[in-house]
Amino acid sequence: MLILLPPSETKSTGGSGAPLDLSSLSWPELADVRRTIADDLVALSADRDAAMAALKLGPKLANEVDANAALFTSPTAPALDRYTGVLFDALDAGSLSPAARARLAVGSALFGVVGGEDMIPKYRLSGGSKIPLHDGPSAGATPTMRARWGKSITRALTEGDHGLIVDLRSGTYMNLGKVPGAITATVLTTDGNVVSHFNKHHKGLLARALADAAGTSSRDIGSLGDAVDVARDAGLDARARDRGIIITVPA
Rounded Cα distance between 19 and 16, Å, is 9
**pLDDT score of 217:** 62
User: Is the entire prediction scored with pTM above 0.85?
Assistant: yes
**pLDDT score of 251:** 82
Rounded Cα distance between 180 and 185, Å, is 14
What region, left, alpha or beta, does residue 119 occupy, with left being phi > 0 and alpha being psi -120 to 50 degrees? beta
Sign of CA dihedral 37, 38, 39, 41: positive
Mean pLDDT by 10 residues, the chain (251 residues): 97 98 98 99 98 96 97 99 98 96 98 99 98 95 98 96 95 97 96 87 98 77 95 98 95 82
Containing 115, the helix (H) or strand (E) segment is strand 112-115
**pLDDT score of 50:** 97
Rg of the Cα atoms in the chain: 18
**pLDDT score of 216:** 65
Rounded Cα distance between 38 and 223, Å, is 37
The conformation of residue 22, written as its DSSP 8-state character, comes to G
Question: Of 117, 104, 45, which Cα lies nearest the Cα of 77?
Answer: 117
**pLDDT score of 218:** 62
Question: Of 36, 150, 26, 159, which Cα lies nearest the Cα of 80?
Answer: 26
**pLDDT score of 195:** 86
